[in-house]
Amino acid sequence: MKRWLLPEGGQFYKANLHLHTTVSDGRYTPEETKQKYRERGYSILAFTDHEVFVPHNDLSDGDFLALNAHEIAIDEFPGGGRYQRTYHLNFYAKSRETTLSPVFSESRVDCPSSIALITDEMRRYDARAEYSVASVNDLIRIGNENGFFVCYNHPVWSLQNYPDYIGLEGLWGIEVFNQSCVVEDLPDTTIPFDDLLKAGKDVFPICSDDSHWDPDYFGGWTMIRAASLDYDAVIAALLAGDFYSSTGPEIRELSIEDGTLTVRCGDAALVRIVTDWRSYKVANAAVPEREGEDFVARFDASGLAGKYRAATEPGYQNAYFRVEVKGHDGKSAYSRAFRVAEFPELLG
């Protein structure tokens, strides 16, 4: 039986899940931001202005969906400093009806345009946090318990390392690419993503723009496979991991049938399978071959799982694989990770 790793039904919607507008420190208004992205074929934007949570349901129409969110910063030394580490987390509202965020704290708001938008209702909350894994985990938990899900943003720009992130709990996603950080020559990598996966934490890889001003636009996006462009349907797809993220290449199908993993994509230089098995991605890389409109690479999925079939090696219980598609220009697309344990038929 064919197992679809991206849903067979629905359609892909192009999304940028991280951006800033004149609500905080972005150059363009929410309306102008929508216009810029609509002209480039995007259907979904998550408005993640700093600290203040301002819903934008008024921007949604038949061809466009606004997701409501905000970005929280927990600085190592409140008040600033170019050497300080910082946690930046996007909190996304699961319901379009949500009007307030429980992780708001007026003490963190420093942008004049945001200060002007603070209301007494927002002030009902005062979710302060200090720079520690435990304190940040409290914020994530409060968000999760109150109808939000959380993405851990741009660890490289934030000057963060393994001890800063490996203990984080309850994350939904992690940025593997952030265009604004590329502009600042602090590009993210997949290393923290794989570190969390190896620790047994199921997080999804996100490519975003984090757009503030012109050089930040159109570098990284997410292709969401959803039943419709409805708030609930798109959130359900995001929570299920029914998407891939990209800086260029296109993934059209991921499936497993009769022990074969099929990756159907657009024109690409290389498709590779990344696992926690050392050297596996070297052994499992292929140049996709043209089949009609698509380019296709196939892998022995039984072999992928076979390493674990009689595994006694430490680390077996968190075994996973994920797909990367490399473009001729070096740009990449990333699937989510799949735990080998999700495929008992391959384990024999």
Which residues contact Zn ion by CB under 5 A? 71, 88, 153, 210
The smaller minimum CB distance to Zn ion, of residues 184 and 195, is found at: 184
Number of Cβ within a 10 Å radius of residue 56 = 22
User: In angstroms, what is the minimal distance from the CB of 184 to Zn ion?
Assistant: 11
Rank residues 75 and 324 by Cβ distance to Zn ion and give the closer one. Answer: 75
As a whole number of angstroms, the distance between CA 196 and CA 323 comes to 16
Distance CA 35, CA 143 (A): 30
For Zn ion, the closer CB: 143 or 249: 143
Residue 334: CB minimum distance to Zn ion, A: 20
- Amino acid letter for position 196: L
The tokens describing 180, both together, are 């604004």
Nearer to Zn ion, 69 or 304 (CB): 69
Residue 71 or 188 having the CB closest to Zn ion: 71
Name the minimum Å distance from CB 48 to Zn ion.
Answer: 6
Number of residue whose CB is nearest Zn ion: 88
CB 306 within 8 A of CB 248: no
Nearest distance in Å: CB 131, Zn ion: 15
**Could you tell me which residues come within 8 angstroms of residue 247 by beta carbon, excluding any fewer than 6 positions away?**
177, 207, 219, 220, 221, 331, 332, 333
Nearest approach, Cβ of residue 128 and Zn ion (Å): 19
In angstroms, what is the minimal distance from the CB of 206 to Zn ion?
Answer: 12
Q: Is 291 helix (H, G, I), strand (E, B) or coil?
A: strand
Q: Which is nearer to Zn ion, 164 or 210 (CB)?
A: 210
**Residue 83 main-chain phi, psi, to 5 deg:** -95, -5
Q: Return the number of the residue (88 or 336) whose C-beta is nearest Zn ion.
A: 88
| Rounded least distance, CB 165 to Zn ion, Å | 14
Contact 248, 331 (CB under 8 A): yes
Q: Where are the alpha helices (DSSP H) in 146-274?
A: 162-165, 179-183, 191-198, 231-240
Q: Work out how close the CB of 294 gets to Zn ion at its nearest, in angstroms, rounded to a whole number.
A: 35
Q: Which of 53, 56, 69 is nearest to 29 (CA)?
A: 56
Instruction: Compare residues 84 and 255 and give the one whose CB is closer to Zn ion.
Output: 84
Q: Name, in order, each residue with C-beta under 8 angstroms of 223's C-beta and a sequence gap of 6 or more.
A: 12, 13, 14, 15, 243, 244, 245, 246, 250, 251
